[in-house]
């Protein structure tokens, strides 16, 4: 069933891709092939392979339980929040929080997760920023 | 003699303090990444590219660092195969078959040092193969025009699913998805924006580094979260290594196996659609056919340890041949290495050997040096790496995630790219669940523009005649190989895959 949904989704993607390609405004100075041919070729092969997946689905993957789904979704939300927080809190604080969360969800006890968080944030800051001079996000305190 | 002179120059390039230090760092990190289940050669190299890039390393140093990681990971994979019966990365799967039984018999140290030597032999022979074979391929590639290049890229995509692929539709889907992503952005030839939907961030196109790190590294973090694998692979098991030198008699009896396996592995590496996993598989099965008279394979036969290790290291060297000489990688990790070259503004292919000879030969010399470093690191110091196995993923994976973020942020300083990377991470997780290979996506985003340019150039040269694409015997030959390579796995893929995966590996979408 998963593969059938996946195939149907792929077909829609191919149609969307072809539609998007047809929206391209061609300039008057174009080569013989033009900017649309290659994307259209891809769209048709994408559609063809999606159709094949739809018609002959493979074995059903092992999907995680609802709880595990929520787990992954929560991790995605945390990562997005982390990215948004980088410019507000600065690298060290944002990274500490995000790493602590991830480590905690991978079943570290909370105090250990906290240590991993602080260690990772400070470690990366020292090695990559202070020693190697990589630019990291600055927060209100400058780090 | 020409070759020796170039190689000499290469050693001069590679012998600077910085390059030696980078090779040492690379081999160390590589062995570690190979040893840790969950971090393989392709995602290991993927995480390090943005870092090497944003640290402003030059072309040669950056390549030396990353190929050392690549060679190192091939060595490291065997450690957990032998000690824990868990392959540290996919190519090390075959090493479990005889390595773990040897460890159970109390011969863990012998198995580790023997496989270290086998790795060295494989990589050493393959590096010589690279030196001798790549220039020949370059001469051949100089005959290619745009139409032949277009066919060559098609061949690369058609065979990338590999002979072990069971679902070619999914491999094709992945390749088309990657090519489709490469179309996004301003068209290089006419200057019109394509599929950007007015989003200014997309005008430059998607950065393939963002896609690679998201698909390979972040998706791995999601897999670990899904399974709640927080504890170290070693679990509570104690790891005893014992004596770290193989007896002479064992070396002597396995030497023939190593040589045969290296040859086979190298060929498997050069061929499109094979790569290191197939190299070790072929080496093991051929060796079993040839020398297993008493049926000791699978029960801790030293030859069954030496053969796959020599095979996978030789294949990883062989896989560099088409990547450097043609610009068309045949495996996952070499696709990632191609990304390194492209982001350093170096176009691989025949011209690389003429225009950037110092880079190529410096790299090859560095491979020799790295190989000796790895031998030293993997025999007397293997104890350090066995301790690495005790690092639990609940500490490792968050660190991997954060280093991915830091690397991408370091390149562009844009949070938009980070969000795109998270998106790719989720996409990578879903696709791995659906058993869609990720490597063709990467290769598509990398090669899409060149492929399209060659198509357009070929057709423009012939005044709009599309038949030019099959207009030369060479092009027809390439198309034939492409079609055979795509169709063949439909018939034999299931058999090969079943044999290779006898020892289970859950999420094998990242091959190599």
For residue range A60-104, what is the model confidence (pLDDT) as tens digits? 888 888 888 899 999 999 999 999 999 889 899 999 999 999 999
Residues A51 and A72 in one domain: no
**Cβ separation of B230 and A108 shorter than 8 Å?**
yes
Final residue of a structural domain among A32, A55, A78: A55
Q: What percent of chain B has pLDDT over 90?
A: 24
* B contacts of A137 (beta carbons < 8 Å): 409
Residue with tokens 């000489």: B325
The model's pLDDT over B313-340, given as tens digits with 9 standing for 90+, comes to: 999 889 899 889 988 887 788 888 888 8
* Residues in B 364-423 with any Cβ partner in A closer than 8 A: 393-395, 397-399, 401-403, 405-406, 409-410, 413, 415, 418-419, 422
- B238 pLDDT exceeds 70? no
| pLDDT the model gives residue B234 | 61
| pLDDT the model gives residue B165 | 65
**Cβ separation of B54 and A134 shorter than 8 Å?**
yes
* A contacts of B504 (beta carbons < 8 Å): none
Residues A11 and A49 in one domain: yes
Query: How far, in Å, CA of A40 to CA of B178, rounded?
Result: 14
Averaged pLDDT score across all residues of chain B: 85
Residues A41 and A84 in one domain: no
The answer to whether the beta carbons of residues B30 and B72 sit under 8 Å apart is yes
* A contacts of B419 (beta carbons < 8 Å): 80, 83
Residues A10 and A42 in one domain: yes
The model's pLDDT over B369-420, given as tens digits with 9 standing for 90+, comes to: 999 999 988 888 888 888 888 888 888 889 989 999 998 888 888 888 999 9
The answer to whether the beta carbons of residues B304 and B258 sit under 8 Å apart is no
Helices B168-183 and A2-22, interaxial angle, to 10°?
30
* B contacts of A99 (beta carbons < 8 Å): 398-399, 401-402
- B505 pLDDT exceeds 50? no
Residues A96 and A127 in one domain: yes
**Cβ separation of A33 and B228 shorter than 8 Å?**
no
Residues A73 and A127 in one domain: yes
Please give the C-alpha separations between residue B5 and each of B9, B11, B131, B358, in angstroms, as whole numbers.
6, 10, 12, 12
Residues spanned by the domain of A108: 66-131
Closest B-chain CA to A4: B434
A137 falls within a domain? no
Asked if ipTM goes beyond 0.85, one says: yes
* A contacts of B456 (beta carbons < 8 Å): 31-33, 37-38
The model's pLDDT over A18-69, given as tens digits with 9 standing for 90+, comes to: 999 998 877 777 778 888 899 999 999 999 999 999 998 888 888 888 888 8
CB B135: neighbour CB atoms within 10 A?
Answer: 17
* Residues in B 219-238 with any Cβ partner in A closer than 8 A: 221-222, 224-231
| pLDDT the model gives residue B426 | 95
Mean of the pLDDT values across residues B220-239?
74
Residues A15 and A43 in one domain: yes
| pLDDT the model gives residue A7 | 93
The model's pLDDT over B59-107, given as tens digits with 9 standing for 90+, comes to: 889 989 999 998 888 888 888 888 888 887 777 888 888 888 888 888 8
> Residue B440: which residues within 8 A CB-CB, separation 6 or more?
B157, B160, B161, B171, B172, B174, B175, B177, B178
| pLDDT the model gives residue B508 | 42
Residues A78 and A114 in one domain: yes
Give the residue from B376, B320, B360 showing the smallest Cα distance to B11.
B360
Q: Which helix (H) or strand (E) element contains residue B280?
A: helix B275-291
**Cβ separation of A108 and B394 shorter than 8 Å?**
yes
Closest A-chain CA to B174: A46
> Residue B89: which residues within 8 A CB-CB, separation 6 or more?
B34, B37, B39, B40, B41, B73, B76, B77
| pLDDT the model gives residue B425 | 95
Tokens representing residue B144 in the block: 């290619």
Q: How many CB pairs below 8 Å do chains A and B form together? A: 191
The answer to whether the beta carbons of residues B13 and B361 sit under 8 Å apart is yes
Closest B-chain CA to A115: B395
**Cβ separation of B393 and A87 shorter than 8 Å?**
no
| pLDDT the model gives residue B75 | 87
Of B51, B410, B433, which is closest to A63 when you measure between CB atoms? B433
**Cβ separation of B194 and A21 shorter than 8 Å?**
yes
User: B501 CB near a chain A CB, below 8 Å?
Assistant: no
The answer to whether the beta carbons of residues A125 and A91 sit under 8 Å apart is yes
- Distance in Å, alpha carbon of B411 to nearest chain A alpha carbon: 9
Residues A123 and A70 in one domain: yes
Q: What is the DSSP string of B129-144?
A: HHHHHHHHHHHHHTT-
Residues A78 and A97 in one domain: yes
Closest B-chain CA to A76: B422
B327 vs B160, residue with greater confidence:
B327
Number of domains within chain A: 2
The model's pLDDT over B417-451, given as tens digits with 9 standing for 90+, comes to: 999 999 999 999 999 999 888 888 988 999 898 89
* A contacts of B170 (beta carbons < 8 Å): 49, 53, 58
The answer to whether the beta carbons of residues B323 and B348 sit under 8 Å apart is yes
* A contacts of B55 (beta carbons < 8 Å): 132-134
Closest B-chain CA to A57: B167
pLDDT bucket at B507, cuts 50 / 70 / 90? very low
**Cβ separation of A120 and B399 shorter than 8 Å?**
yes
Of A17, A30, A86, which is closest to B190 when you measure between CB atoms? A30
Work out whether the CA dihedral B313, B282, B326, B460 comes out positive or negative. Answer: negative
Tokens representing residue A123 in the block: 């470690």
A90 falls within a domain? yes
Select the residue from B196, B402, B437, B457 to test the A interface by mutation, using most A Cβ atoms within 10 A: B402
The answer to whether the beta carbons of residues B316 and B278 sit under 8 Å apart is no
Q: What percent of chain B has pLDDT over 70?
A: 93
* A contacts of B422 (beta carbons < 8 Å): 76, 79-80, 83
Residues A81 and A37 in one domain: no
* Residues in B 100-129 with any Cβ partner in A closer than 8 A: none
Query: How far, in Å, CA of B100 to CA of B296, rounded?
Result: 14
Tokens representing residue B137 in the block: 């391929």
A26 falls within a domain? yes
The model's pLDDT over B170-203, given as tens digits with 9 standing for 90+, comes to: 989 999 999 999 999 888 888 888 888 878 888 8
- B353 pLDDT exceeds 90? no
Closest A-chain CA to B195: A20
Q: What is the DSSP letter of B445?
A: H
Mean of the pLDDT values across residues B46-53?
84
Give the residue from B229, B207, B124, B189 showing the smallest Cα distance to B442.
B207
pLDDT bucket at A122, cuts 50 / 70 / 90? very high
The answer to whether the beta carbons of residues B272 and B324 sit under 8 Å apart is no
**Cβ separation of B394 and A107 shorter than 8 Å?**
yes
Residues A15 and A49 in one domain: yes
User: B191 CB near a chain A CB, below 8 Å?
Assistant: yes
| pLDDT the model gives residue B1 | 58
Query: How far, in Å, CA of A134 to CA of B432, rounded?
Result: 32
């Amino acid at each position: 069933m998963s593969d059938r949904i996946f195939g149907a989704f792929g077909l829609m993607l191919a149609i969307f891709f072809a539609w998007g390609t047809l929206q391209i405004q061609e300039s008057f100075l174009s080569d013989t092939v033009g900017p649309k041919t290659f994307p259209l070729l891809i769209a048709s092969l994408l559609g063809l392979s999606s159709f094949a997946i739809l018609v002959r689905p493979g074995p059903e993957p092992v999907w995680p339980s609802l709880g595990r789904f929520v787990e992954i979704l929560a991790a995605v939300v945390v990562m997005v929040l982390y990215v948004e927080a980088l410019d507000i809190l600065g690298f060290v604080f944002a990274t500490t929080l995000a790493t602590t969360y991830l480590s905690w969800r991978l079943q570290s006890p909370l105090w250990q997760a906290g240590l991993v968080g602080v260690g990772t944030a400070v470690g990366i800051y020292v090695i990559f920023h202070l020693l190697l001079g990589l630019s990291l996000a600055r927060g209100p305190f400058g780090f | 003699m020409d070759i020796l002179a170039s190689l000499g120059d290469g050693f001069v390039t590679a012998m600077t303090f910085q390059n030696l230090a980078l090779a040492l760092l690379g081999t160390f990190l590589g062995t570690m990444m190979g040893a840790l289940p969950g971090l393989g050669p392709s995602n290991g190299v993927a995480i390090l590219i943005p870092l090497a890039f944003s640290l402003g390393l030059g072309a040669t140093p950056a390549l030396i660092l990353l190929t050392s990681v690549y060679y190192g990971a091939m060595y490291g994979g065997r450690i957990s195969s032998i000690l824990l019966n868990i392959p540290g990365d996919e190519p090390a799967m075959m090493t479990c078959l005889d390595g773990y039984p040897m460890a159970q018999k109390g011969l863990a140290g012998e198995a580790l040092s023997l496989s270290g030597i086998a790795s060295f032999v494989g990589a050493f022979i393959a590096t010589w193969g690279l030196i001798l074979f790549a220039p020949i391929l370059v001469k051949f590639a100089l005959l290619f025009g745009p139409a032949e290049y277009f066919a060559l890229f098609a061949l690369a995509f058609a065979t990338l699913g590999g002979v072990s692929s069971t679902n070619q539709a999914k491999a094709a889907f992945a390749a088309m998805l990657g090519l489709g992503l490469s179309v996004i952005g301003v068209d290089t030839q006419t200057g019109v924006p394509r599929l950007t939907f007015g989003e200014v961030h997309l005008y430059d196109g998607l950065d393939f580094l963002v896609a690679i790190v998201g698909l390979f590294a972040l998706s791995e973090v999601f897999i670990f979260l899904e399974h709640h694998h927080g504890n170290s692979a070693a679990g509570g098991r104690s790891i005893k290594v014992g004596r770290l030198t193989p007896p002479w008699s064992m070396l002597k009896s396995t030497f023939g196996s190593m040589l045969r396996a290296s040859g086979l592995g190298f060929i498997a590496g050069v061929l499109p659609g094979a790569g290191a996993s197939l190299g070790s598989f072929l080496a093991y099965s051929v060796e079993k056919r040839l020398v297993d008279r008493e049926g000791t394979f699978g029960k801790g036969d030293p030859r069954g340890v030496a053969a796959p290790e020599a095979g996978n290291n030789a294949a990883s060297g062989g896989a560099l041949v088409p990547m450097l000489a043609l610009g068309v990688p045949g495996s996952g990790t070499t696709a990632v290495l191609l990304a390194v070259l492209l982001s350093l503004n170096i176009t691989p292919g025949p011209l690389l050997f003429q225009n950037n000879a110092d880079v190529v030969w410096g790299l090859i010399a560095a491979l020799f040096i790295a190989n000796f470093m790895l031998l030293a690191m993997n025999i007397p110091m293997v104890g350090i790496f066995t301790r690495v196995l005790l690092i639990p993923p609940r500490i490792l994976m968050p660190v991997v995630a954060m280093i991915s973020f830091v690397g991408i942020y370091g390149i562009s300083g844009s949070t938009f790219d980070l969000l795109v990377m998270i998106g790719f991470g989720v996409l990578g997780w879903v696709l791995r669940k659906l058993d869609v290979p990720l490597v063709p996506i990467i290769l598509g985003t990398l090669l899409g523009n060149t492929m399209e340019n060659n198509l357009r150039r070929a057709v423009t040269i012939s005044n709009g005649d599309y038949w030019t694409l099959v207009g030369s015997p060479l092009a027809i030959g390439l198309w034939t190989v492409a079609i055979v390579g795509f169709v063949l796995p439909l018939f034999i893929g299931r058999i090969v895959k079943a044999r290779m995966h006898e020892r289970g590996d859950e999420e094998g979408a990242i091959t190599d």
